[in-house]
Structure 1
Amino acid sequence: MTEASDVVSFKALFQTSPLALVILSVSGEVIAANAASRALVGERLAQGVRLDELTHPDDALALATALVRLGDGGAPASLTSRLRGDDKPAITWQVWRAPDRSELFAALSKTTVPEASAAEPTKTSEADDDIEKRVLHAMLDHIEILAWAVDKDGIYTFYDGKAAASIGASADMFLGKNVFDIFRDQISPAMRQAFAGSPERESINIMGAHWENWYVPVRDRRGELAGVIGISQNMNESQRIREELEARLALIERQQAVIRDLETPIIQVWDKVLTLPMIGIVDSKRAARLMDDLLQMVVRTSARFAILDLTGVEIVDTATASYLVQMIHAIRLLGAEGILTGIRPSVAQTVISLGVDLKGIPTHGTLRHGLAYCIRQLGGER
């Protein structure tokens, strides 16, 4: 099958499937709905419609939270919700996100809930409410978060959480007051988007702390915005650890720079004469760094001579010897002359055995002799 025929087949499979299938954006907007899903929910399940316009207001928060988690890469979710205008659970949503896809996928099924007995009409509901309250209070009392709610005009109707104490705040400072009056110019674009009906998440510095904020818009029975619910997590400790780590990494980088400078002590010993005393074992990596630093110094000082003093070098390998020759040639390309001094007998034997050609490269027994050569050459030029 061709790619085009595959697409046609998958579209046909989607539209004719007996399973009620819906494709959603991460913000909860319907991208596509097949015939089975429209038969289950009704023709109001159309492209471009937002789920919170179809869902009962009391169930909109749970559904929006599930979509936000999936948008952040969360695990597949299963939840039951009522349709707008119906007080009984009607639809079970199985929602997931495929790898490397921005859309969300949902399979819908009709939900049937048995009626409560006449003797105990509210027992289950009251028990559920009690559990929800205990869970909420446990979270607010023990986790560094703030839970808050504002109405459509921005007036605080709820404000609680352990994180309030960390910034010296209390419910009395917020309840009944307008979020736009309290924070004024500090209202973020993400919060404004939430008031426009879009679930949002952001990191922000405000009230002397670093926060991770989640904003969830809530709608009334008519589908109009009723307010915004927010969860704010105090990230000060995480931010402190991150800044401490960044400071340590910066210190390590500075220390490495000092070590590099000590490894490549390029010295201007005379006007237009540079010397690079090479000490210890020079491997390929160090030789490459030496070349970069020396060439930059030649350009910066307009040097005429660059002396590579090998007095302190004990061992060279093929790659290192090749780098030394390349370094001399590179110095010449910059209009200066490269000179080798202080080659030890053991190093000389290694260079010869490796077949490295030093023909045409000035060499001197000691740094003193090399410097004298440079001074004579400069005197002759004058």
Structure 2
Amino acid sequence: MNLTSMPHRSGSVLCHLFALRSRKADRLHQQQRIAMTDRTAKHAASVPLVLVLQGPTASGKTALAHGLADVFPLEIISADSRQVYCGLDIGTAKPTEAERKRYRYYGIDLCTPDQSISAGQFARWAWEWIGEIAARGKVPIIVGGSGLYVRAITEGLFEESGRISPAIRSQLAERLAREGRQALYAELERLDPESAARYSDQNPRRILRALEFYYAYGIPLSLAQSTLLHQPPPMRIVRITLLPERSALYERIAQRVHRMWEAGLVEETQHLLSHGYDRSLPIFTTIGYAEALMVIQGHLDRSSAIERTIVRTRRYAKRQITWLRNSTPLGTVLPHFGDQAVNIVQPMIDQLLHSADEYSCDKR
């Protein structure tokens, strides 16, 4: 019986009963709150903590991941669509052999340069890696890299029910070569404005994929993705985004590009060609490798190729920053480079792991 349905009593009796019922309700509420907190803690303990570290190229993501892994039980998932290729080491800023021995890495050297891995396939593998890492009592840190890969891992993925007709692919590829990507992007803006907004960097492969899907199935890719999405497994995602000051970032980009060329980018590109990989493969359009190929072919001198690589990398970083600000949850934003941010991030990670340890103790 609640208070509104109680029969009328004198004021003193009613006050006494109200006090008793209030104390009883308070005790019940406290018990329920404790029980709910316990259930929440146990649920949190069963859902893996996943750190997501993003930022533009040359912002120091790898340095920050390594600095944190030196202190905390982290294992690194590289979500970079170029580091999946065997043999593309220098131009993709892949961690060195020594670093890969010191830190446990996933997502590197998964296929040969003439193969491809979709964001969906990568996400499925990443979900398995996350489960394995958490089962060993470690914490995965996703370092991206490719915004599309990170998005597929954290938000889910769409898988087509069938294959795109080769005729559609070839027709659109011919149009891309003949009309240019701006013309096809304008067409995508008309047919699938949501996908066009997501692909504001006008990446030709993504434009082609969205148009291929539209002409194959008759509906926008964005609509299919929103209605036929494969959801990721439960994860407690904590995001860290590095957004250093732009002029300083551009200077670091120039320094990194010079190091890549000094480390043997041309020789690495020549090595790929000598192993029979056709120069028409998408890998040879990648920033750095495209310029190295032009040097090998005699179309550019070395200094011009280096300068062109710097300019293209800066433009790419600018597009990455725009995409990060407009298309993803940023989480904790740090206006620093990764090597400068280690001491800032450490207390936050320590608190997260301490909370997780308390949850585990409660569960036991």
TM-score, normalised relative to structure 2:
0.18
Determine which structure has greater relative contact order: mean sequence separation of CA pairs < 8 Å that are 6+ residues apart, divided by chain length. Answer: 2
Q: By percentage of residues, which structure has more helix?
A: 2
Larger radius of gyration: 1
